[in-house]
Amino acid sequence: MPGWGWICSNSARFLWKSIPPAIKESQPELVAAWKIGQKLWTRDYAGVYEAIRGFDWTQETQVVVAAFSELYTKKMFELLLSAYSTISIQDAAQFLGMSEEDATNYVLQQGWTFDPASKMLTVMKLAIVREQKLDPGKLQRLTEYVFHLEH
Helix (H, G, I), strand (E, B) or coil at 111: coil
pTM of the prediction? 0.72
Cα separation, 93 vs 72, in Å, equals: 14
Q: How far apart are CA 93 and CA 110, in angstroms?
A: 15
Q: What is the pLDDT of residues 123-138, one digit of tens each?
A: 987 665 566 666 777 7
Question: Does residue 80 contact residue 122 with C-beta atoms inside 8 Å?
Answer: no
Range scoring the smallest mean pLDDT among 8-17, 32-41, 66-75: 8-17
- pLDDT of 64 above 70: yes
Q: In the beta sheet, which residues pair with residue 113?
A: 122
Measure the CA–CA gap between 114 and 91, rounded to whole angstroms: 14
| Each residue's pLDDT tens digit, 73-103 | 999 999 999 899 999 999 999 999 999 999 9
> Considering only CA atoms, which of 23, 18, 55, 21 is closest in space to residue 36?
55
Q: What is the mean pLDDT of residues 135-148?
A: 71
- Would you state the torsion angle of the CA atoms of residues 100, 104, 106, 109, taken in this order, to the nearest 10 degrees? -170
One-letter amino acid of 48: V
